Chains A and B, each alone.
Chain A
Amino acid sequence: MTSDTPFDAVIVGAGVAGALIAKQLTGAGLRVLLLEAGPGTSQSFNGYSRHLQQFYGATSKSAESPWPPAAAAPQPDSSDLRNNNGYFVQRGPDLYGSTYTRTWGGSTLHWLGVSLRMLPEDFRMHSRHGVGRDWPLGYNDLAPFYARAEHELGVSADVADQRYHGVSFAEDYDYPMQRVPLSYSDRVLGAAVDGMTVWFDHESFDLKVRSYPAARNSIPRGAYQPVGAVDLHDDGSSNPPLLGGRCQGNTSCTPICPVQAKYNAGKSLAQADRRYLTMLVQAVASKILVDPANGGVQGIEYKRYQDPASTRFTTAVAKGRVYILTAHAVENARLMLASGLTGPRGQVGQTLMDHPALYAWGLAPLAIGAFRGPQSSAGIEDLRGGAFRARHAAFRFDIGNDGWRSTTGAPDSTVSEAVMSQRLFGTALRDQLANLLSRQVRMSLAIEQLPDPANAVTVDPQYLDALGNPRPVISYHIDDYTKAGMVAASGVARALFRRAGVQDFSESGNGSWFPSVYYQGREFHYHGMGHFSGTHAMGDDPQQSVIDPDQRAWQHHNLFLAGSGSFPTMGTSNPTLTLAALALRTADHLVATLQQ
């Protein structure tokens, strides 16, 4: 074993949380060592383009298809779910359907870019609705960091659209870029749906098809400079972006934005001060070394491999004044547990959450132009909050622009069906495809899930990856609170389609395979949203939580765990903007303490 020179901070994981903290710390002149488990192929524009070619050539155009893992840093893959034979060891009873990417840039390489703030009431689920638990921070504490995160990620939206359910903004604030234009399909649906009223008991809600804040470059406001494609070289030099200054409508935000108009963590890393940043790729953190006397971290052991196809490695130890885990909600917990660090009352890894989501899909009465524009540009946010949350989960709808791609495998499946089953060819075929594909509508109904200690990431020495690191073992179940939310959400979707004249195919049995849960005699097919959270939750009470509001581990004074693992509850918003706001807040704290 060798020992590296000390740094001010050792950061584990070059995803969005790690990138934002690295940028802030190096910007303050603090010396950072960043360990990244995956290859650094997405750093250069050429390398990134090879991932794009990989996507073009892939038979399955899944979220993971452009980003195959290195042998030494495996990752979950949605195609492994059905046979439950992937990186995760799933103990059930339900399957955890989400994935992430272990490559430089992390899961933002394939995220969709939805960048909603949490609602004020989401931070107070226990006091307000008697379920879940409260955050130690409130909306107002995070609001300034949300604003900063919106600038770091480059979020496009108009404040005028985003004031609902108590979400508020500073008086002179607006997003750095104008909202991404709504798609034609959003406008057609909106014309039919806006003003539709939904009742839950005595509470009514008026629905509206609303543009959502997206981390995709659009028309900048004021002096804001959109950040485009990353092109870093091994010698530390970089080229200015030639592409990606504005979304061009490639309709593949997930799994890969060809021009990088969509945010990925590489953009923040490209802005870090390279004089203070040492970056090691293909370096898998494997153990946190702790002083048994006081719990202080003494170093992080990591395994370095030369060849992404091989599992040969050498071991070294990274040392710094503080250590920050930003390896993703599951990997942070896995690394802690692999090091024997289970946290207060063994809470590390517990209360794993996601947004189990249902699809609703159908055929619009006219050509709405599916398969164009960002994969989605609007949602329905009106049912994210309300008194009903005492009884069942809240939810939001994402309204797709990519037809039945995720529900049935369209457009290819539509072509196959027309050619193979309907035996069409020639003009009849072409006419049928134009007619069907351009009318396909899809919504994702993402349902809130509450923290439950039984839903957990654990490790088991029986199950190791190729480097000998323990694989995540996942226990997961979807409770009645969430299932009752599924009932409510699917009812609203059905009514919405009826009102818009959309022929509903959700129950037609023509969907791809997804895991199911049962409730009140009904079967619900659900999919994961990639919204892992809760695995190292923050709190005020050192007994009831793993980290404090600065994301510092209660039991280890120089160890921080950042990311959506820190969320006590997750509401209905996609997690990344909130985890980015928390990362900036932690970075401020670190700069203030480390500069002393």
Chain B
Amino acid sequence: MSQLEPFLAFSAEVTAFPIVELQGTGQAESYLQTVEDIVGTQRLDRLLVLYQSLPLATREDIRQARADRLRRDIFGSDELGPIARNIIKLWYSGTWYELPSAWTEAYGPAPQDVTFVVAPSSYVEGLLWTAIGAHPAGAKAPGYASWQWPPHIPPFAGDPAATPR
């Protein structure tokens, strides 16, 4: 079964970007492939199954429970945490970062685990630029004189800062 759907669901929650925006980058398949190639399909499956087993956040108290489980079971796991953090960085900057050496010692070797930009387009599609109201250096230029105005930082669902800037 394709892991794309759960991968996107997980990615959306940990990056705070909706699935449509993630898909809009055109990078989802190659990021999924990158993670699978480096840490192995089975390990990623385990992360995603665990993710899908989290309580659904329909009520405020459950929302908290879900966040706690996410933090403890996935981000707090020696094995899965570094992978989860790398998935965030993939989306934000288009770069796969070499996993911490403690991870490789315990769960490696992962021969393809070096720091690299997944593709020229993944640099251009990094989410961090959208998050900060800017554009990737060298691409998607906003146009002459746009820089003289205050930045427009897009609001997002669940934004903890209530007032839009």
A residues at B contact (CB < 8 Å) = 52-53, 55-59, 61, 181-184, 187, 218, 246-252, 256, 258-259, 367-374, 377, 401-402, 405, 411-412, 415-416, 419-420, 423, 425-431, 433-435, 437-438
Contact = CB atoms under 8 A, between A and B. Distances in A.
Contact of B139 (A258, A401, A435): A258
A53 B144 CA distance: 23
A458 B117 CA distance: 39
Contacts of B156: 427, 430
A434 B89 contact: no
A195 to B, nearest CB: 21
A426 B97 contact: no
Contacts, number: 170
Task: Output the residue of B92, B137, B157 with the most chain A CB within 10 A.
Answer: B137
B128 A411 contact: yes
Contact of B161 (A184, A431, A438): A431
Contact of A250 (B70, B88, B137, B161): B137
Interface in B106-165: 115-117, 119-121, 123-124, 128-129, 131-135, 137-139, 141-151, 153, 156-161, 165
Given A57-B120, A59-B116, A184 B147 contact: yes
Given A181-B148, A427-B156, A415 B93 contact: yes
29 contacts: A56-B124, A58-B117, A59-B117, A61-B137, A181-B145, A183-B147, A249-B146, A251-B141, A258-B138, A367-B153, A368-B151, A369-B151, A370-B132, A370-B134, A371-B134, A371-B137, A372-B142, A372-B147, A411-B93, A419-B92, A420-B85, A423-B75, A425-B88, A427-B16, A427-B157, A429-B14, A430-B156, A434-B133, A438-B153
Contacts of A420: 85
Interface of B: 13-17, 67, 70, 75, 84-85, 88-89, 92-93, 95, 97, 115-117, 119-121, 123-124, 128-129, 131-135, 137-139, 141-151, 153, 156-161, 165
A431 B146 contact: no
A509 B132 CA distance: 24
Contact of B146 (A59, A218, A372, A430): A372
Given A184-B150, A184-B151, A438-B153, A430 B138 contact: no
B139 A369 contact: no
A437 B132 contact: yes
A429 B138 contact: no
Contacts of A370: 132, 134
A248 B142 contact: yes
B75 to A, nearest CB: 7
B149 A251 contact: no
